Structure 1
Amino acid sequence: APFFVLLDHIQDPHNLGAIIRSAAGAGATGVIIPKDRSVKVTPAVVKVSAGAVFKIPIVLVTNLARTIEALKERDVWVYAVDMDGKPYYEEDLTGPVGVVFGSEGKGLGKLVKDRCDGVIGIPMENSVESLNVSVSAGIILFEIRRQRRLKG
Protein backbone atom coordinates (compact mmCIF):
# COMPACT_ATOMS: atom_id res chain seq x y z
CA ALA A 1 0.00 0.00 0.00
CA PRO A 2 1.30 3.49 -0.76
CA PHE A 3 2.41 5.82 1.98
CA PHE A 4 3.09 9.50 1.55
CA VAL A 5 4.95 12.04 3.65
CA LEU A 6 3.45 15.55 3.51
CA LEU A 7 5.35 18.50 4.95
CA ASP A 8 3.52 21.68 5.96
CA HIS A 9 6.01 24.52 5.35
CA ILE A 10 9.24 23.03 6.71
CA GLN A 11 11.83 25.85 6.75
CA ASP A 12 15.12 24.21 7.76
CA PRO A 13 17.10 22.43 5.01
CA HIS A 14 18.62 20.07 7.59
CA ASN A 15 15.16 18.97 8.71
CA LEU A 16 14.01 18.46 5.11
CA GLY A 17 17.11 16.43 4.25
CA ALA A 18 16.76 14.26 7.35
CA ILE A 19 13.05 13.66 6.71
CA ILE A 20 13.69 12.71 3.07
CA ARG A 21 16.40 10.28 4.21
CA SER A 22 14.05 8.69 6.76
CA ALA A 23 11.21 8.57 4.22
CA ALA A 24 13.39 6.77 1.67
CA GLY A 25 14.76 4.40 4.32
CA ALA A 26 11.28 3.56 5.61
CA GLY A 27 10.00 2.85 2.09
CA ALA A 28 7.67 5.82 1.64
CA THR A 29 6.08 6.23 -1.79
CA GLY A 30 6.96 9.92 -1.97
CA VAL A 31 7.42 13.23 -0.17
CA ILE A 32 5.02 16.10 -0.86
CA ILE A 33 5.98 19.71 -0.08
CA PRO A 34 4.29 23.05 -0.84
CA LYS A 35 5.83 25.29 -3.52
CA ASP A 36 5.58 28.40 -1.34
CA ARG A 37 6.91 29.24 2.14
CA SER A 38 8.82 25.97 2.30
CA VAL A 39 12.45 25.03 1.89
CA LYS A 40 13.21 23.47 -1.50
CA VAL A 41 15.73 20.77 -2.37
CA THR A 42 19.00 22.70 -2.12
CA PRO A 43 22.60 21.41 -2.10
CA ALA A 44 22.40 21.39 1.73
CA VAL A 45 19.26 19.24 1.60
CA VAL A 46 20.93 16.83 -0.84
CA LYS A 47 23.95 16.53 1.47
CA VAL A 48 21.93 15.97 4.66
CA SER A 49 19.74 13.42 2.85
CA ALA A 50 22.89 11.44 1.98
CA GLY A 51 21.63 11.16 -1.59
CA ALA A 52 18.14 9.96 -0.61
CA VAL A 53 16.65 12.83 -2.66
CA PHE A 54 17.56 10.74 -5.72
CA LYS A 55 15.87 7.58 -4.38
CA ILE A 56 12.33 8.80 -3.67
CA PRO A 57 9.92 11.05 -5.60
CA ILE A 58 9.65 14.58 -4.18
CA VAL A 59 6.58 16.47 -5.39
CA LEU A 60 5.98 20.22 -5.13
CA VAL A 61 2.31 21.18 -4.83
CA THR A 62 0.50 24.51 -4.96
CA ASN A 63 -1.98 23.76 -2.17
CA LEU A 64 -1.34 21.16 0.55
CA ALA A 65 -4.95 21.16 1.82
CA ARG A 66 -6.25 20.40 -1.70
CA THR A 67 -3.59 17.71 -2.10
CA ILE A 68 -4.86 16.06 1.09
CA GLU A 69 -8.39 16.10 -0.35
CA ALA A 70 -7.10 14.54 -3.59
CA LEU A 71 -5.35 11.76 -1.65
CA LYS A 72 -8.51 11.08 0.39
CA GLU A 73 -10.54 10.83 -2.84
CA ARG A 74 -8.11 8.07 -3.83
CA ASP A 75 -8.74 6.14 -0.60
CA VAL A 76 -5.59 7.29 1.19
CA TRP A 77 -6.18 7.81 4.93
CA VAL A 78 -4.38 11.03 5.92
CA TYR A 79 -3.12 11.66 9.46
CA ALA A 80 -1.88 14.90 10.97
CA VAL A 81 1.01 14.37 13.37
CA ASP A 82 0.51 16.62 16.40
CA MET A 83 1.11 16.55 20.14
CA ASP A 84 -2.61 16.22 20.94
CA GLY A 85 -3.04 13.12 18.78
CA LYS A 86 -3.81 9.52 19.65
CA PRO A 87 -0.59 7.56 20.37
CA TYR A 88 0.82 6.63 16.96
CA TYR A 89 1.37 2.97 17.91
CA GLU A 90 -2.37 2.52 18.64
CA GLU A 91 -3.32 3.38 15.04
CA ASP A 92 -3.40 0.87 12.17
CA LEU A 93 -1.04 2.37 9.59
CA THR A 94 -0.89 -0.64 7.27
CA GLY A 95 -3.30 0.63 4.60
CA PRO A 96 -2.75 3.47 2.11
CA VAL A 97 -1.72 6.40 4.34
CA GLY A 98 -0.40 9.91 4.27
CA VAL A 99 1.23 11.53 7.29
CA VAL A 100 1.46 15.30 7.59
CA PHE A 101 4.17 16.99 9.64
CA GLY A 102 4.01 20.67 10.60
CA SER A 103 6.65 23.35 10.39
CA GLU A 104 9.21 24.08 13.06
CA GLY A 105 7.71 26.45 15.61
CA LYS A 106 4.26 26.94 14.05
CA GLY A 107 3.31 23.29 13.69
CA LEU A 108 0.44 22.32 11.41
CA GLY A 109 -1.75 24.93 9.77
CA LYS A 110 -5.38 24.76 10.93
CA LEU A 111 -6.78 24.24 7.43
CA VAL A 112 -4.33 21.40 6.76
CA LYS A 113 -5.00 19.73 10.12
CA ASP A 114 -8.78 20.05 9.67
CA ARG A 115 -8.60 18.26 6.29
CA CYS A 116 -6.92 15.20 7.81
CA ASP A 117 -8.87 12.06 8.72
CA GLY A 118 -7.22 11.73 12.12
CA VAL A 119 -4.47 13.01 14.38
CA ILE A 120 -1.66 10.87 15.77
CA GLY A 121 1.03 11.93 18.21
CA ILE A 122 4.07 10.77 20.11
CA PRO A 123 3.42 10.50 23.86
CA MET A 124 6.02 12.47 25.83
CA GLU A 125 7.44 12.22 29.36
CA ASN A 126 9.13 14.70 31.74
CA SER A 127 7.12 17.73 30.59
CA VAL A 128 8.89 17.71 27.21
CA GLU A 129 6.45 19.41 24.85
CA SER A 130 7.70 18.35 21.44
CA LEU A 131 10.46 16.78 19.37
CA ASN A 132 12.33 18.12 16.37
CA VAL A 133 10.18 17.52 13.28
CA SER A 134 12.80 15.27 11.66
CA VAL A 135 12.95 13.11 14.80
CA SER A 136 9.14 12.87 14.93
CA ALA A 137 9.10 11.93 11.26
CA GLY A 138 11.68 9.19 11.79
CA ILE A 139 9.67 7.67 14.63
CA ILE A 140 6.35 7.71 12.73
CA LEU A 141 7.75 6.59 9.36
CA PHE A 142 9.56 3.60 10.80
CA GLU A 143 6.44 2.67 12.79
CA ILE A 144 4.58 2.48 9.47
CA ARG A 145 7.35 0.22 8.13
CA ARG A 146 7.29 -1.93 11.30
CA GLN A 147 3.51 -2.42 11.15
CA ARG A 148 3.64 -3.34 7.47
CA ARG A 149 6.41 -5.88 8.00
CA LEU A 150 4.46 -7.51 10.84
CA LYS A 151 1.36 -7.70 8.66
CA GLY A 152 3.45 -9.34 5.93
Structure 2
Amino acid sequence: MSEHDSRPRPRPHTRGQSGRPGRPDRRARENRLEAPVILYGWHTVTAALANPKRVIRRLLLTENAARRLAEEKILPPVTPELVRPAAIDQRLGPDAVHQGLYAEADPLPSPALDTLDRRGIVLVLDQITDPHNVGAIMRSAAAFGVSAIITTARHSPEATGVLAKSASGALELVPFITVQNLARTLTELNEHGFMTVGLDSAGADNLAAVKLEAPLALVLGAEGKGLRQLTRETCRLVARLDMPGAIKSLNVSNAAVLALYIGASRLGLMS
Protein backbone atom coordinates (compact mmCIF):
# COMPACT_ATOMS: atom_id res chain seq x y z
CA MET A 1 0.00 0.00 0.00
CA SER A 2 1.55 3.31 -1.04
CA GLU A 3 1.91 6.42 1.11
CA HIS A 4 -0.95 8.15 -0.71
CA ASP A 5 -3.30 5.20 -0.91
CA SER A 6 -6.75 6.32 0.26
CA ARG A 7 -8.06 2.84 1.04
CA PRO A 8 -8.80 2.22 4.75
CA ARG A 9 -5.94 0.51 6.49
CA PRO A 10 -6.64 -2.56 8.62
CA ARG A 11 -6.52 -1.92 12.34
CA PRO A 12 -3.24 -3.37 13.64
CA HIS A 13 -3.80 -6.01 16.28
CA THR A 14 -0.47 -7.79 16.35
CA ARG A 15 2.96 -7.43 17.80
CA GLY A 16 6.21 -6.80 16.04
CA GLN A 17 5.29 -3.73 13.95
CA SER A 18 8.18 -1.67 15.27
CA GLY A 19 10.62 -3.59 13.07
CA ARG A 20 11.86 -5.73 15.94
CA PRO A 21 10.12 -9.09 16.18
CA GLY A 22 8.20 -9.41 19.42
CA ARG A 23 8.34 -5.67 20.21
CA PRO A 24 5.17 -3.76 19.20
CA ASP A 25 5.12 -0.04 18.45
CA ARG A 26 2.95 2.37 20.41
CA ARG A 27 0.18 2.63 17.80
CA ALA A 28 -0.21 -1.16 17.54
CA ARG A 29 -0.31 -1.45 21.32
CA GLU A 30 -2.95 1.26 21.69
CA ASN A 31 -5.17 -0.26 19.00
CA ARG A 32 -4.95 -3.73 20.54
CA LEU A 33 -6.21 -2.33 23.82
CA GLU A 34 -9.36 -1.15 22.07
CA ALA A 35 -10.47 -4.76 21.59
CA PRO A 36 -10.56 -6.62 24.92
CA VAL A 37 -9.39 -10.17 25.39
CA ILE A 38 -12.42 -12.41 25.94
CA LEU A 39 -12.01 -15.07 28.62
CA TYR A 40 -14.61 -17.61 29.72
CA GLY A 41 -14.81 -20.86 31.64
CA TRP A 42 -13.75 -21.70 35.18
CA HIS A 43 -10.05 -22.51 34.73
CA THR A 44 -9.49 -19.75 32.18
CA VAL A 45 -11.11 -16.95 34.17
CA THR A 46 -9.87 -17.96 37.63
CA ALA A 47 -6.30 -18.21 36.29
CA ALA A 48 -6.69 -14.69 34.91
CA LEU A 49 -8.08 -13.44 38.24
CA ALA A 50 -5.03 -14.91 39.99
CA ASN A 51 -2.56 -13.33 37.56
CA PRO A 52 -1.34 -9.94 38.86
CA LYS A 53 -0.20 -9.01 35.34
CA ARG A 54 -3.69 -9.43 33.87
CA VAL A 55 -5.88 -6.32 33.97
CA ILE A 56 -9.54 -7.33 34.20
CA ARG A 57 -11.93 -4.72 32.82
CA ARG A 58 -15.26 -6.48 33.23
CA LEU A 59 -16.46 -9.65 34.94
CA LEU A 60 -19.84 -11.32 34.45
CA LEU A 61 -20.87 -14.10 36.82
CA THR A 62 -23.91 -16.26 37.31
CA GLU A 63 -25.13 -16.79 40.89
CA ASN A 64 -23.67 -20.32 40.95
CA ALA A 65 -20.28 -19.12 39.71
CA ALA A 66 -20.24 -16.26 42.23
CA ARG A 67 -21.05 -18.72 45.01
CA ARG A 68 -18.24 -21.03 43.94
CA LEU A 69 -15.74 -18.17 43.83
CA ALA A 70 -16.74 -17.22 47.36
CA GLU A 71 -16.45 -20.83 48.55
CA GLU A 72 -12.94 -21.07 47.13
CA LYS A 73 -12.07 -17.64 48.54
CA ILE A 74 -11.26 -16.16 45.13
CA LEU A 75 -11.61 -12.39 45.34
CA PRO A 76 -12.11 -10.70 41.93
CA PRO A 77 -10.08 -7.51 41.34
CA VAL A 78 -13.20 -5.80 39.92
CA THR A 79 -16.80 -5.71 41.04
CA PRO A 80 -18.57 -8.53 39.18
CA GLU A 81 -21.92 -8.18 37.43
CA LEU A 82 -24.41 -10.90 38.37
CA VAL A 83 -26.25 -12.14 35.29
CA ARG A 84 -28.30 -15.09 34.11
CA PRO A 85 -26.49 -17.76 32.03
CA ALA A 86 -28.41 -16.62 28.94
CA ALA A 87 -26.72 -13.22 29.12
CA ILE A 88 -23.32 -14.89 28.68
CA ASP A 89 -24.73 -17.21 26.02
CA GLN A 90 -25.75 -14.16 24.02
CA ARG A 91 -22.15 -12.93 24.01
CA LEU A 92 -20.45 -16.22 23.24
CA GLY A 93 -23.05 -18.35 21.51
CA PRO A 94 -24.99 -21.30 22.94
CA ASP A 95 -22.22 -23.84 22.32
CA ALA A 96 -19.58 -22.12 24.49
CA VAL A 97 -18.99 -23.90 27.81
CA HIS A 98 -18.58 -20.83 30.00
CA GLN A 99 -19.58 -22.34 33.39
CA GLY A 100 -21.07 -19.00 34.40
CA LEU A 101 -17.89 -16.92 34.06
CA TYR A 102 -17.09 -14.31 31.43
CA ALA A 103 -14.36 -11.67 31.57
CA GLU A 104 -13.05 -8.87 29.39
CA ALA A 105 -9.40 -8.03 29.96
CA ASP A 106 -6.37 -6.27 28.51
CA PRO A 107 -3.78 -8.30 26.57
CA LEU A 108 -0.82 -9.46 28.59
CA PRO A 109 2.56 -7.78 28.03
CA SER A 110 4.79 -9.55 25.52
CA PRO A 111 8.53 -9.99 26.15
CA ALA A 112 11.25 -9.05 23.66
CA LEU A 113 13.16 -11.96 22.14
CA ASP A 114 16.45 -10.94 23.74
CA THR A 115 14.90 -11.25 27.22
CA LEU A 116 13.77 -14.89 26.88
CA ASP A 117 15.18 -17.50 29.24
CA ARG A 118 18.20 -19.02 27.51
CA ARG A 119 18.13 -22.17 29.64
CA GLY A 120 14.89 -23.56 28.28
CA ILE A 121 12.69 -24.04 25.23
CA VAL A 122 10.74 -21.69 22.98
CA LEU A 123 7.95 -22.94 20.71
CA VAL A 124 7.49 -21.32 17.31
CA LEU A 125 4.22 -21.90 15.43
CA ASP A 126 4.22 -21.41 11.65
CA GLN A 127 0.67 -20.39 10.73
CA ILE A 128 -1.21 -22.92 12.86
CA THR A 129 -4.75 -21.64 12.48
CA ASP A 130 -6.91 -23.88 14.68
CA PRO A 131 -7.43 -22.17 18.07
CA HIS A 132 -8.15 -25.55 19.71
CA ASN A 133 -4.76 -26.85 18.58
CA VAL A 134 -2.94 -23.71 19.67
CA GLY A 135 -4.73 -23.81 23.04
CA ALA A 136 -3.75 -27.46 23.53
CA ILE A 137 -0.15 -26.61 22.60
CA MET A 138 -0.20 -23.82 25.20
CA ARG A 139 -1.30 -26.28 27.90
CA SER A 140 1.59 -28.59 27.01
CA ALA A 141 3.96 -25.62 26.91
CA ALA A 142 2.91 -24.65 30.43
CA ALA A 143 3.45 -28.23 31.61
CA PHE A 144 7.01 -28.24 30.24
CA GLY A 145 7.89 -24.72 31.41
CA VAL A 146 8.27 -23.27 27.92
CA SER A 147 9.72 -19.75 27.94
CA ALA A 148 7.39 -18.39 25.26
CA ILE A 149 5.23 -19.25 22.26
CA ILE A 150 5.93 -17.27 19.11
CA THR A 151 3.35 -17.20 16.35
CA THR A 152 2.59 -15.30 13.18
CA ALA A 153 0.36 -12.24 13.07
CA ARG A 154 -1.49 -13.55 10.02
CA HIS A 155 -3.06 -16.99 9.68
CA SER A 156 -3.04 -17.68 13.41
CA PRO A 157 -5.65 -17.23 16.15
CA GLU A 158 -5.51 -14.36 18.63
CA ALA A 159 -4.95 -15.02 22.33
CA THR A 160 -8.62 -14.73 23.22
CA GLY A 161 -11.92 -16.60 23.10
CA VAL A 162 -11.71 -20.24 22.00
CA LEU A 163 -7.91 -20.32 22.19
CA ALA A 164 -7.95 -19.07 25.78
CA LYS A 165 -10.65 -21.58 26.73
CA SER A 166 -8.73 -24.45 25.11
CA ALA A 167 -5.57 -23.37 26.92
CA SER A 168 -7.45 -23.78 30.23
CA GLY A 169 -5.45 -21.17 32.13
CA ALA A 170 -2.12 -21.69 30.34
CA LEU A 171 -2.49 -18.31 28.63
CA GLU A 172 -1.61 -16.74 31.98
CA LEU A 173 1.54 -18.87 32.33
CA VAL A 174 3.26 -18.87 28.93
CA PRO A 175 4.14 -15.56 27.21
CA PHE A 176 2.48 -15.30 23.78
CA ILE A 177 4.45 -13.34 21.18
CA THR A 178 2.96 -12.42 17.80
CA VAL A 179 5.32 -11.34 15.01
CA GLN A 180 4.86 -10.02 11.48
CA ASN A 181 7.74 -11.88 9.80
CA LEU A 182 8.52 -15.36 11.09
CA ALA A 183 11.68 -15.86 9.03
CA ARG A 184 13.10 -12.60 10.37
CA THR A 185 12.23 -13.70 13.90
CA LEU A 186 13.93 -17.07 13.41
CA THR A 187 16.99 -15.24 12.11
CA GLU A 188 17.01 -13.12 15.26
CA LEU A 189 16.68 -16.25 17.41
CA ASN A 190 19.64 -17.74 15.54
CA GLU A 191 21.63 -14.59 16.19
CA HIS A 192 20.78 -14.84 19.90
CA GLY A 193 22.25 -18.34 19.97
CA PHE A 194 19.05 -20.39 19.84
CA MET A 195 19.20 -23.81 18.23
CA THR A 196 16.22 -23.51 15.87
CA VAL A 197 14.86 -26.93 14.94
CA GLY A 198 12.02 -27.27 12.46
CA LEU A 199 9.80 -30.35 12.78
CA ASP A 200 8.81 -31.98 9.51
CA SER A 201 8.02 -35.54 8.48
CA ALA A 202 10.59 -35.16 5.68
CA GLY A 203 13.35 -34.01 8.03
CA ALA A 204 16.77 -35.55 7.46
CA ASP A 205 17.30 -36.51 11.11
CA ASN A 206 15.24 -38.14 13.83
CA LEU A 207 14.71 -35.56 16.59
CA ALA A 208 15.38 -38.24 19.21
CA ALA A 209 18.86 -38.79 17.73
CA VAL A 210 19.82 -35.11 17.39
CA LYS A 211 22.13 -33.52 19.94
CA LEU A 212 19.95 -30.71 21.28
CA GLU A 213 21.35 -27.67 23.06
CA ALA A 214 19.89 -24.75 25.01
CA PRO A 215 18.52 -22.30 24.22
CA LEU A 216 16.27 -24.38 21.98
CA ALA A 217 13.49 -23.22 19.64
CA LEU A 218 11.20 -25.95 18.29
CA VAL A 219 9.31 -24.89 15.16
CA LEU A 220 6.00 -26.54 14.22
CA GLY A 221 4.10 -26.09 10.98
CA ALA A 222 0.42 -26.13 10.17
CA GLU A 223 -1.36 -29.42 9.71
CA GLY A 224 -1.43 -30.49 6.10
CA LYS A 225 0.92 -27.76 4.83
CA GLY A 226 3.69 -28.23 7.37
CA LEU A 227 6.54 -25.73 7.52
CA ARG A 228 6.70 -23.10 4.81
CA GLN A 229 9.79 -23.21 2.62
CA LEU A 230 11.35 -20.02 3.98
CA THR A 231 10.74 -21.24 7.53
CA ARG A 232 12.52 -24.51 6.75
CA GLU A 233 15.43 -22.69 5.18
CA THR A 234 15.83 -20.36 8.17
CA CYS A 235 15.88 -23.13 10.80
CA ARG A 236 19.34 -24.42 11.66
CA LEU A 237 18.13 -27.96 11.02
CA VAL A 238 14.93 -29.81 10.19
CA ALA A 239 14.15 -33.04 12.04
CA ARG A 240 11.36 -35.59 12.01
CA LEU A 241 9.52 -37.50 14.73
CA ASP A 242 9.87 -41.21 13.97
CA MET A 243 6.83 -43.32 14.84
CA PRO A 244 7.09 -47.12 15.26
CA GLY A 245 3.48 -47.81 14.24
CA ALA A 246 1.63 -47.83 10.95
CA ILE A 247 0.56 -44.18 11.26
CA LYS A 248 3.60 -41.94 10.84
CA SER A 249 2.11 -38.52 11.50
CA LEU A 250 0.57 -36.90 14.56
CA ASN A 251 -1.86 -34.08 15.22
CA VAL A 252 0.25 -30.94 15.64
CA SER A 253 -0.65 -30.58 19.33
CA ASN A 254 0.40 -34.19 19.97
CA ALA A 255 3.59 -33.66 17.98
CA ALA A 256 4.31 -30.64 20.18
CA VAL A 257 4.01 -32.76 23.34
CA LEU A 258 6.39 -35.41 22.01
CA ALA A 259 8.90 -32.83 20.78
CA LEU A 260 8.78 -30.99 24.10
CA TYR A 261 9.35 -34.23 26.01
CA ILE A 262 12.37 -35.09 23.86
CA GLY A 263 13.72 -31.56 24.13
CA ALA A 264 13.19 -31.24 27.87
CA SER A 265 14.76 -34.66 28.48
CA ARG A 266 17.83 -33.82 26.39
CA LEU A 267 18.31 -30.45 28.07
CA GLY A 268 18.02 -31.93 31.54
CA LEU A 269 14.82 -30.07 32.38
CA MET A 270 12.90 -33.13 33.56
CA SER A 271 14.77 -33.63 36.84
Matching of residues 58-137 of structure 1 within 5 Å: 58-85=176-203, 86-137=205-256
Query: How many matched pairs?
Result: 152
Measured in 1, the distance between the counterparts of 2:269 and 2:228 equals 33
> Which structure 2 residue ranges, 5 or more long, are not aligned?
1-118
Equivalents in 2 of 1:93, 1:80: separation in Å? 12
Measured after TM superposition, the shift of residue 99 of structure 1 is: 0.8
Structure 2 Cα separation of the partners of residues 69 and 114 of structure 1: 10
Greater fraction helix: 1
Higher RCO, Cα 8 Å, sep 6+ = 1
Normalised by the size of structure 1, how large is the TM-score?
0.93
Structure 1 residue 128: deviation in Å? Answer: 2.1
Contact 1:13 1:42 (8 Å CA) reproduced: no
Query: If each structure's strand is expressed as a fraction of its own residues, which one has the higher value?
Result: 1
Conservation of the 8 A alpha-carbon contact between 2:213 and 2:267: yes
The verdict on how the C-alpha distance between 1:147 and 1:70 changes in structure 2, with shifts beyond 3 A counting, is same
Distance of aligned partners of 1:126 and 1:42 in 2 relative to their CA distance in 1, 3 Å threshold: same
Q: Whole-Å Cα distance in 2 between the matches of residues 106 and 150 of structure 1?
A: 31
1:140 alignment partner AA? A
Matched, 1:147 2:234: no
Aligned alpha-carbon RMSD (Å): 1.6
Change (3 A) 1:89 1:128: same
8 Å contact from structure 1 (residues 27, 145) kept in 2: no
* 1:4 alignment partner AA: V
CA distance in 2 between partners of 1:119 and 1:17 (Å):
24
Distance 1:127 1:38, change over 3 A: same
Alignment-mate amino acid for residue 21 of structure 1: R
Question: Scaled by the length of structure 2, what TM-score is found?
Answer: 0.53
Would you say the 8 A contact 1:80–1:118 is kept in 2? yes
Runs of 4+ in 1 over 4 A off after TM superposition: none
Residue 11 of structure 1, CA deviation: 1.0
Deviation at 1:115, TM superposition (A): 0.5
Contact 1:3 1:98 in 2 (8 A): yes
The correspondence for 1:9, drawn from 115, 127, 136, is 127
Identity of aligned residues (%): 35
- Alpha-carbon offset, residue 23 of structure 1: 1.0
- Cα separation, 2, equivalents of 1:150 and 1:58: 21
Larger Rg: 2
| TM-superposed deviation, 1:94 | 3.6
Give the deviation of 1:2 after TM superposition. Answer: 3.3
Letter in 2 for 1:9: Q
